[in-house]
Structure 1
Amino acid sequence: MTLPPREQKARLRAERLALRDALSSEARADGAAAMLRHIGAPSFRQAFNPAGAMASGFWPIRSEPDIRPLMEGLRAIGARLCLPVVLDRETIVFREYLAGASVVKTGFGTTGPDETAAVVDPDLMLVPLSAFDRQGHRIGYGAGHYDRAIARLDTLGKRPRLIGIAFACQEVASVPFEPHDIPLDAILTEEGLIETQRQQV
């Protein structure tokens, strides 16, 4: 009996997050450092041209890779930065993160600029996830915050370029894909940048 997509996703989410949680702190740090090196490659700049883009990153929670150095690497090559802030169980907004600005706890486990920061729309989004496949399909954490934010930008004609951030152990052969799901343009792991079919079209 084939499970419904939601149940398949829940199983894959639990499985891949367990693998990520099992990584040592040293392996996670080494992986994040490798990701930073990959964004300096000419292939990354050619594919995503971050200079001048408003790039959304994230403060790490749980066993996510710490991409704060990666974000500063993007700033160094000309990107502006913003961070997602969860306002409630349905909504996130993106607040500009200026160089040297302080951050605060913003609820639901997120960290970002306070309410005095400008609310912006990202051109490039670094998206955390629990599992992914090479077609660009992702499984998030189940709350749907990023899905709704991306869909909102899409309806405004401001579809950002989407780069999933994950460790290689989070890859699966196939993620159940539903009509409301929006595929990623690429996935960045410690092993390199995986350009999806969507990006290659």
Structure 2
Amino acid sequence: MGEAATLKAELRAGRLTARDTISVTERIEKSLQLAHHGAAAIEAVSGRTVSGFLPIRSEVDLRPLLAGLRSRGARICVPVILDKERIVFRELVPGAPLVDCGFGTSAPGPEAQVLDPDIMLIPLAAFDRNGHRIGYGGGYYDRAIARLHQRGLSPNLIGIAFDCQEVASVPAEPHDVQLQAVLTESGLRIFKKQIG
């Protein structure tokens, strides 16, 4: 493991531990604050596809934000791990049954439509003020974004985290994809072009 990868592993572990210390009640409140800020900041979603995620462990609960975006005309999808290399994004519609997808995740089954997101709400372990992120270490999102780019698609990339997951600096590696913004309970911080 190289120096950058070692440092990332240490930062990941530290920020996930900090996230785990947030009480369930506080996590609900922070998730609702994040949804409020996201609803105000993420504009022009009607007719667009937004990928979110269903929470595992101590992640932000995006369901209130996703419901709000759906009510404004967005199509919602969530990631599904297909194998060790790939995720796809299946449409999440109200009332559709969810299936176990491994790693503690659940998502719509194979009958659900696979969509290409216009806006990606991306879970992460840590982020810095320049829009660099540390994921969970599997590289699924980096590869999914690269595949979308190869097809000429360029979704808006918004990291989803709690404030406590910010670090001073993330060591960037060549395969890393920089975020355009991060949404936390304090609001949306934009790093690149306008979101919406």
TM-score tier by shorter-chain length is: over 0.9
Could you tell me the TM-score, scaled by structure 1's length? 0.92
Give the letter for the 2:116 counterpart.
D
2:187 counterpart of 1:187: no
Q: CA deviation at 1:112?
A: 0.7
The question of whether the paired residues in 2 share the 8 Å contact of 1:86 and 1:108 is answered with: no
The question of whether the paired residues in 2 share the 8 Å contact of 1:104 and 1:111 is answered with: yes
Q: Distance in 2 between matches of 1:158 and 1:111?
A: 26
Q: Distance in 1 between matches of 2:98 and 2:55?
A: 13
Q: Which 4+ stretches in 1 moved above 6 angstroms?
A: none
Structure 2 alignment gaps of length 5 or more? none
Q: How many residues align?
A: 194
Q: Distance in 2 between matches of 1:185 and 1:51?
A: 20
Map of 2:72 onto structure 1? 77
Q: CA deviation at 1:6?
A: 0.4
Residue aligned with 1:120, SS: coil
Give the letter for the 2:67 counterpart.
E
The question of whether the paired residues in 1 share the 8 Å contact of 2:39 and 2:65 is answered with: no
Q: Distance in 2 between matches of 1:31 and 1:136?
A: 21
Over the matched positions of the two proteins, sequence identity in percent amounts to 56
Q: CA deviation at 1:82?
A: 0.6
Q: Distance in 1 between matches of 2:39 and 2:58?
A: 24
Could you tell me the TM-score, scaled by structure 2's length? 0.94
Give the letter for the 2:64 counterpart.
P
- CA-to-aligned-CA distance 1:92-114 (integer Å, 9 cap, x gap): 11111123322111223221111
Q: CA deviation at 1:85?
A: 0.4
Structure 1 alignment gaps of length 5 or more? none
Q: CA deviation at 1:176?
A: 0.5
How big is the alpha-carbon RMSD for the aligned residues of Structure 1 and Structure 2? Answer: 1.5
